[in-house]
A and B are shown apart, each in its own frame.
Chain A
Amino acid sequence: MLTKRIIPCLDIKDGRTVKGVNFEQIRDAGDPVELATIYAKEGADELVFLDITATNEKRKTLSELVNKIAHHINIPFTVGGGISSVEDVQLLLKNGADKISINTSAYKNPTLINQLALEFGTQCVVLAIDTKKEVDGNWYVYLNGGRVKTNTLCIDWAREAVERGAGEILLTSMNNDGTKQGFALDITHDLSTQLSVPIIASGGAGTMQHFSDVFEIAKADAALAASIFHFKEIAVPTLKSYLSNKGISIRI
């Protein structure tokens, strides 16, 4: 049976992990490769690397890092952050990334999704959406790391992206992100049940119960989190056996 996926996310700047981490066994907390290797050994199902570097050197640094990661880890990984062209993607895939994620660039130029799907296959195109529930009760798409609001509904953009060839949706709720109060179950459920591609839920993970809720109630296919894993508030193996004991299909 296909399992639900647990995905730790690492933020990268200038080739180093940004957020502090709290692993005793780690020698260099800033080394993404070492951290990624630990997560892979602990049973993470996939990894996401989000690059927040803003310099001109970005492309080269990132592709070198991707190459290093691909040498060392034996599970699939996605790379995102500032990817805006077929050439960017080609370079990352050539260096061993399994998937890439696109966000603002795809919203501004939706044909990018079609181009990437045609060139590399839908399986490696992950569309990331940052979304926020407004006072009118609707979920809207936000761009540029959540700084720019649009008038597009999250479900509409997600549906269009899937039609264009997005193979997965990485959905981050800005209302929930950083709160540790749980994932946004309503919008995750809407996307999971209305779209034909897998949904990765992100933002709000604080307890193990939150993960079981997002799988059982919101029907997410995968759940992504960063700080709770980095700070060892929840260890991947503990989380996975908790979910498995609850009868959720999990790779142990």
Chain B
Amino acid sequence: MKTVIIQYNAGNIQSVLFALERIGVEASVTDDVKQIEAADKIIFPGVGEASTAMTYLKERKLDQLIVSLQQPVLGICLGMQLMCAFSEENNTPCLGIFDERVEKFNSNNQQLKIPQIGWNNIVDLKTDLFKGVHDQAYCYFVHGYYAALGKHTIATANYGLAYSAALKKGNFYGVQFHPEKSAIVGEQIIKNFIEL
């Protein structure tokens, strides 16, 4: 079994690698097209800004590669947002795997601190990605933009409004939270993805 983390100009790659190590999964970090294509499981992480990340992916033709992948792919945080159709973050057209749009949390809401930083619960869990994870489980989120609810939503979170905590379409999965930082709940979700 080969697990690959896609390397690009986004943060938290190291954390994902360490999280895989903790559950006994060896993984390599690469932007090499052949290695990515040959992998059994692919993780597309990310902390950063959407337009900068998309430009980087396009320059290396990683955008075309990611949409053509047939094996299970897991986008994390910005990775998930980049798999959507469009992000309001600097009005960036993204990969278009999920139809859902990425919008900015409403900063006019005085009660809401942006970005959302901390532990929030996930509900309405669907698919084997959440096998063994109970409804209302807490995950760690850090984000100022969110994917709206849509037909690909497989988990919902609430911050001023209900939004997609996770998305799925075919072999593509995305989670808005950071499973690599979400204690044992996160470890279970990563394990589930590896076992898909």
Contacts and interface: CB of A to CB of B under 8 A. Distances in A.
Contact of A1 (B15, B158, B178, B186): B158
Interface residues of B, number: 36
Contacts of A30: none
Interface in B110-162: 113-121, 138, 140-143, 158-159
Nearest to B14: A96
A205 to B, nearest CB: 19
B18 interface: yes
Interface string A118-159: 001111100000000000000000000000000000000000
B119 A168 contact: no
Contacts of B15: 70, 96, 98
B interface secondary structure, majority: mixed
Nearest to B22: A74
B119 A45 contact: yes
A9 to B, nearest CB: 17
A68 to B, nearest CB: 10
A222 B47 contact: no
B81 to A, nearest CB: 13
A5 B183 CA distance: 14
Interface size class of A (residues with CB under 8 A): 20 to 34
A75 B181 contact: yes
Contact of A74 (B114, B116, B183): B183
B115 A40 contact: no
Interface of A: 1-3, 5, 40, 45, 70-72, 74-76, 93-96, 98, 120-124, 167-168, 196-198, 221-222, 251
23 contacts: A1-B120, A1-B121, A2-B118, A2-B141, A2-B159, A3-B120, A5-B119, A70-B14, A70-B18, A74-B180, A74-B181, A75-B140, A75-B183, A76-B181, A98-B12, A98-B15, A123-B143, A167-B115, A196-B107, A196-B114, A197-B114, A198-B113, A221-B113
Interface of B: 11-12, 14-15, 18-19, 21-22, 47-49, 107, 113-121, 138, 140-143, 158-159, 178, 180-184, 186-187
